Structure 1
Amino acid sequence: MGEIMPDTQLASAHADEPRATGLRAGDTQVLRLRQEHPVNRDRQDIPCLDMFSVIVQLRDFARHELWCGGRLVFAGGHARMALSVTHLGEGWACRHLSSFDNVRVQIPRASLDALSEELERPAVSGFARAQGTVDPVAYGLVSALLPALDMPDRGNRLFVDQVTLALTIHVAQTYGGMAPLAPPGGRRTGGLSQWQEARAKEFLTANLGGDVAIAEVAAECGLSRSHFIKAFRETTGQTPYRWLLDHRVARARELLRGPQPIADIALACGFADQSHLTRVFAAATGMLPAAWRRRQG
């Protein structure tokens, strides 16, 4: 989960060919695909796979055509924030006729079935009302993944896993008919027990860089991924990733009181490098690490 694939030219070294960056969250693949000047006007077949493709437009997509089973089913454009869901096993083909920039989340049917079982809901058989629908929630979630897609050294496995799971649940509930779980009588489900909270924080602290999947942390507490995230947030007021990020900044503040070089502190606190620490530290405290250190002296 969270494996980053480098920015690559998909077809050739030509500057006008589409570019893709991607990462994986378990069996789910997330791709950012963009092209400024489409030069290949031929229809392109999409690999036939038993998975669902969720596409969210990052900007207006003026013109493209879609075929399903050899029949033209769409010709036109999609607005920024528009979402579409298709099952890739139905024999799709496309032709891009204008520039585009979108994020594609490809979810195998087996992964969606496993999520349904985890949430104790009936399996999702398909998606309705999800062709070109403007969806600000999905747009916000995929936008949160852009730094991980565009800056591989900033990718955080815990964060990618958390956001991808949230997107999958949102799409399944909004367009796939998966009803949200509600506790009996509308009661809150409760947070983590004392031992679960201690174990979760201990496990996260031992993996400061965030190179751990939500499923791993949840397993330490004997919970499913979705139930763990909900219980953790109810107990701490934060998602696991947000709690870990704050813990890393707090640890950096402690180390900045000593003489250790800032570059070494960054690595000790799970940041990719000094610039990564500086950006996160400044956002959290309003000060650069060097300035904060001087103030403590």
Structure 2
Amino acid sequence: MIHHPSQLVQPSDIRVCSLRMRGMLVRRESYSGTDSVLCMPRIAENDLQITVYLRDCALVELWSGERLLQKGAVPSQSLTITDMARKWSMRQSCFDRMVIDLAWQRMREFAQDLGRGEFSGLQAAPATRDAAMFGLAQALLPALDNPRMAARLFLEQIELAILVHLGQSYGGLCFSTGRKGSLSATQEARATEALVARVDGDFSLAEIAAECGLSKGYFIKAFSASFGKTPYRWLLEYRVARAKDLLRTDMPISQIALDCGFADQSHLSRIFTALVGMPPGNWRREHAAARPIPGLLAEPATPFSR
């Protein structure tokens, strides 16, 4: 039996944590109840909403007004994009998902800044599998747990990776090449996006080079010309930066090592000490009283507040 969305109510026990970036609000929403739940968008009609499923969801009904567009199970790593110019609602069983409210104007400005004409929209089939977007969502989880301690540079890089990936994969955006001998702006963003999505190290440079439309040898040279370091060095520094964010929390260092793509705590300690000049434990003690970054706003963790 198909249930119309208006027959359902929103529960009060949905857990929500969120943080705001430029033109983008990111939320993690989780619900473990036994009843299905109606989820109604709460953003402006000219904005976009991107949902990334962190775990399998047994039942999702996606509605546009009175029309049922999708009904069925949605696996982890799936992505759904909804344009708020249409009236959307979802009925779901228990879920754990990342929801990104993206301002239309932010996406348009991003495209224009990279030499592309007016942005025309994002289109994706419901429940499209997107491992790269899933990886970016996973990278944001520590920042969502403690938004005021998240590094501004880290958030800016993740936001850029999200915009590039969405624009190229679902918005038909194509960008011009950059200066000779280095990566174009698009390739720079695509390369860093790919590295972030593969923070566990399970990738080959040939794969990332192919995503940039380059041979492996040329990619390494062009990446080094753009960033002043090899892709391997860039990824090591990214892992250490992410480890610093997690060291500001109470997470055990052994778990931080695994979450940041290191083989074990001793591997993290060796690389961290080489790049930072002290072991992770010492760095944690010195930064235990670090202040939150000014201007980084966290939305109240109240379920479906307006």
Partner of 1:4: none
Match of 1:47 in 2: 42
Residue 48 to residue 159, structure 1, CA distance change in 2 (3 Å)? closer
Deviation (angstroms), 1:55:
1.1
Q: CA 1:165–1:232 in 2, change beyond 3 Å: closer, same or farther?
A: farther
> Is it true that 1:66 corresponds to 2:42 in the alignment?
no
Match of residue 144 from structure 1:
139
C-alpha contact (below 8 Å) 1:70/1:91 kept by paired residues: no
Query: Partners of 2:60 and 2:269 in 1: how far apart?
Result: 42
Letter in 1 for 2:155: V
* 1:40-88 C-alpha deviation (Å, 9 max, x unpaired): 65x4432352211111111111102121133222211211111111112
> 1:10-25, aligned counterparts within 5 Å?
12=12, 17-25=13-21
Who is 1:122 aligned against?
A: 117
The answer to whether the 8 A contact 1:48-1:89 is kept is no
What amino acid sits opposite 1:23 in the alignment? Answer: L
CA distance in 1: counterparts of 2:147 and 2:229, whole angstroms:
29
Equivalent of 1:31 in 20, 27, 30: 27
> Which residue number in structure 1 is paired with residue 204 of structure 2?
none
Distance in 1 of aligned mates of 2:241 and 2:16: 33
> Between Structure 1 and Structure 2, how many residues are aligned?
220
Identity of aligned residues (%): 25
Name the residue aligned to 1:157: 152
2:11 & 2:167 partners in 1: Cα distance?
A: 32
The one-letter code sitting in structure 1 at the alignment partner of 2:182 is R
Q: TM-score, normalised by structure 1?
A: 0.61
Q: Please give the TM-score of this superposition, normalised by the length of structure 2.
A: 0.59
Question: Partners of 1:39 and 1:270 in 2: how far apart?
Answer: 34
Aligned 8 A contact 1:48 1:91 in 2? no
For residues 44 and 289 of structure 1, what CA distance do their matches in structure 2 show? 41
Is the 2:142–2:246 contact (alpha carbons within 8 Å) kept by the matching residues of 1? no
AA at the equivalent of 2:103: P
In the alignment, the residues of structure 2 paired with residue 273 and residue 65 of structure 1 have an alpha-carbon distance, to the nearest angstrom, of 37
Q: Tell me the equivalent position of 1:236.
A: 229
Q: Which moved more, 1:98-107 or 1:235-244?
A: 235-244
Q: Cα distance 1:27–1:120, how it changes in 2: closer, same or farther (>3 A)?
A: same
Give the alignment's Cα RMSD to 1 decimal: 3.9
Q: 2: distance between equivalents of 1:38 and 1:248?
A: 35
Instruction: Please give the alpha-carbon distance, in whole angstroms, between the structure 2 residues aligned to 1:247 and 1:53.
Output: 28
Larger Rg: 1
Q: Which structure's relative contact order is higher, taking Cα pairs within 8 Å and 6+ residues apart?
A: 2
Whole-Å Cα distance in 2 between the matches of residues 27 and 146 of structure 1? 19
Residues 31, 94 of structure 2: 8 Å contact kept: yes
8 Å Cα contact 2:49-2:81 kept in structure 1: yes
Q: Which of 164, 169, 173 lines up with 1:178 in the alignment? A: 173
SS in 1 for 2:127: strand
Q: Could you say which residue in structure 1 is the equivalent of 2:288?
A: none
1:232 deviation in Å?
8.5
Q: Which amino acid aligns with 2:248?
A: A
Deviations 1:245-276 (A, max 9, x none): 86999xxxxxxxxxxxxxxxx9xx99637978
Contact 1:158 1:241 in 2 (8 A): no
SS at match of 2:85: helix
- 1:45/1:175 CA distance change after superposition, 3 Å: same
Secondary structure, in 3 states, of the residue corresponding to 2:164?
helix
Q: Secondary structure at the match of 1:236?
A: coil
Match of 2:301 in 1: none
Matched, 1:285 2:270: yes
3-state secondary structure, aligned to 1:128? coil
Q: Which residue of 2 aligns with 1:7?
A: none
Distance 1:32 1:128 in 2: 22
Question: Distance in 2 between the 1:106 and 1:153 partners?
Answer: 19
- Per-residue CA shift, 1:97-132, capped at 9, x if unaligned? x21111111110000011011111122312233421
